[in-house]
Chains A and B, each alone.
Chain A
Amino acid sequence: MAKRKLLKGNVGLCYGAIAARCNAFFGYPITPQNEVPEYMSELMPANGGVFIQAESELAAINMVYGAAAAGKRAMTSSSSPGISLKQEGISYIAASELPCVIVNVQRGGPGLGNTLPGQADYFQAVKGGGHGDYRLLTLAPWSVQDCYDFMPMAFDLADKYRNPVMILMDAIIGQMLEQVDLHNDFPVTDFPKPWATNGAKSRTHNIVNSLWIDPDVMEELNNRLKAKYEMAQREETRFQEFYTKDAELVLVAYGCPARICRTVVDLAREEGMRVGLLRPITLYPFPSQQIAALAQNGKRFMVVEMSQGQMVEDVRLAVNGMADVAFYGRTGGIVPNPTEILNEVRASFGKPPVVSYYQNTAPCKEATN
């Protein structure tokens, strides 16, 4: 029986991980994702799994590496500065072709930044992040329901591609409360793991490794990774569209700003401006083909992010000069309100700004660590 609960996004992730039959969680405290290790410290042992609060982000991701090498479903979660620390391990996991899930509840940056929502880790997430030629399959939830639903999808993608999967969200998605349908209608796929290092019983020994001294062998790995990413591009690209068919202007946004842009679409349409929204669900692979098709149909674009402009570069690559791509971004933990985005939209239609529908409130003060 489906169960409905009022949950924070961070907690929705935890229930999603249990539904995904996650075997192990390794983490380290950092705001604004602390609910994840806190809930997992209870949920994992209660469901026959392993929870360890690691001594560092480095240790946490390397524990994930070990558990994944042993053939188990393992995950970690953190926020921006912590994700930077994990990059070494993520590169090794991708190179060793191990599956795992990494959650980044993004905060303001660079540096220690602040604990408020941000989207400035987009490049780090979708372009690889650590050293070497690899990518993370990257999912962007925009609701607490997504946080729950995306975990089984993330683990399945990780197992299917033997590649780390990142859930890239922000402090708003992590901290906001929404009703969640805790259904259990997830497909259960069996992923055999004959490569796992779990004791060489009745087989020759397995090696999990990312060292390739021979240049031909090293290039072979890079080609194999590339082929995987091309396959993901074909089979896993996911996005959601609202009113793009007749739109003159298509907003492109993910996560929390996509929710706000959804409101802006309605406000703009009430004023007779044909505005639509494309919300990438997978940031990698990126819905480039769909964006190119829209550009070919004469649409122009406006990308809205809580950064100084990162995803906008992928939109421009997809558009490839066929259409105008405008950008609107806020940073520092400031979440753009619908009015300020609407005014950008109005300006692009040659209309003067409107009086605020919403008061632009100052960000509240929070703990810094």
Chain B
Amino acid sequence: MEKVFERTKGLTDTEFGYCPGCHHSVLHRMVAETLEELDILDKTVGVCPVGCAVFMYEYMSCDIIEAAHGRAPAVATGVKRVIPDRIVFSYQGDGDLASIGTAEIVHAAARGENISVIFINNTTYGMTGGQMAPTTLINQKTTTCPTGRNPAVNGYPIRVCEMLATLDGPSYIERVCPTSPAGFAKTKKAIRHAFENQIAGKGFSLVEVLSNCPTHLRMTPIETYRRIDEEMTKVFPPGVFLDR
């Protein structure tokens, strides 16, 4: 019988421990497939965050460093600068990248570090139990804003792509929305572009993936996709912000 699909060499045979319907599993696979397709698995060093994706080191078959919360871009900088012929990426959630790690991501982008950043924005802290994130939408209920995010108390969501696109350092910044077959294809293409950019020595690339958390949003996976399309894209419009 003809084999039509198999696990990419970029993933180990460890079963994903993510919740059913969570985007992380498929996004891990996209990163892993990209590394295999570009034939860079044996020269890539990944840096994983604190958050649900903290366990990325169990699933990826490239070298991985587990960073402290928010510090992945600094760790990636340290790696890339001392072994510049290797490929270095960070994979971070919104709490990690846009809250506790804002200084690290802004300055890695400003320096134009030749790294690829995969930024997963699901508007909540998944691992710790669904607290308010820097990207939580106005009126969105979380365990630390139980009556909904109120700008008078909690401020406003941060748009990372728009903010980083004001800098001269980055080479490529895109926000993608994997809620349809076309959206998934576009996401994969964007991730691949972020790695190709690094191979070409173009500098800092970031792909923001609008993502879900069925468990803490208390929604079915399909409902979370609808929420991304109808609510999240209004605040975080998909598109290419920089590609130079």
Q: Please, which residues of chain A bring their CB within 8 A of the CB of B81? A: 24, 50, 52, 63, 67
Q: Residue on A with the closest CB to B61?
A: A205
Q: Please, which residues of chain A bring their CB within 8 A of the CB of B107? A: 54-55, 59
Say which one of A193-201, A247-255, A309-317 lies at the interface with B: A193-201
Bound together, the chains give a CA A198 to CA B45 distance in angstroms of 6
Q: Please, which residues of chain A bring their CB within 8 A of the CB of B36? A: none
CB–CB B67/A198 < 8 A: no
Instruction: Count contacts on A: residues with CB < 8 A to the other chain.
Output: 39
Instruction: Name A304-358 residues within 8 Å CB distance of B.
Output: none
**Complex interface bits, A78-91 against B, C-beta within 8 A gives 1, otherwise 0:** 00000000001100
For A70, give its contact among B62, B71, B78 (CB under 8 Å): B78
Q: Residue on B with the closest CB to A60?
A: B74
Q: Does B231 contact A (CB under 8 A)?
A: no
Q: Residue on A with the closest CB to B85?
A: A199
Which residue, of B45, B67, B78, B111, has the highest number of chain A Cβ atoms within 10 A? B78
Instruction: Count contacts on B: residues with CB < 8 A to the other chain.
Output: 34
Q: Does B161 contact A (CB under 8 A)?
A: no
Q: Residue on A with the closest CB to B78?
A: A66
Q: Please, which residues of chain A bring their CB within 8 A of the CB of B42? A: 199-202
For B54, give its contact among A26, A72, A88, A211 (CB under 8 Å): A211
Q: Does A64 contact B (CB under 8 A)?
A: yes
Q: Does A23 contact B (CB under 8 A)?
A: yes
Q: Does B52 contact A (CB under 8 A)?
A: no
Q: Please, which residues of chain A bring their CB within 8 A of the CB of B152? A: none
Which residue, of B67, B68, B75, has the highest number of chain A Cβ atoms within 10 A? B75
Bound together, the chains give a CA A54 to CA B47 distance in angstroms of 18
CB–CB A89/B78 < 8 A: no
CB–CB B65/A72 < 8 A: no
User: Would you mind naming 15 contact pairs between A and B with Cβ atoms under 8 Å apart?
Assistant: A26-B78, A50-B82, A52-B111, A54-B74, A60-B74, A63-B74, A63-B75, A65-B74, A69-B75, A70-B45, A72-B83, A88-B68, A200-B41, A205-B61, A207-B65
List 5 tightest A-B contacts by C-beta distance, closest first.
Answer: A66-B78, A62-B74, A63-B78, A55-B107, A197-B63
Given contacts A54-B107, A199-B42, A200-B42, 14 further A-B contacts (CB under 8 A): A50-B82, A59-B77, A65-B75, A69-B45, A70-B78, A72-B82, A198-B45, A198-B63, A199-B63, A205-B63, A205-B64, A207-B64, A208-B64, A209-B65
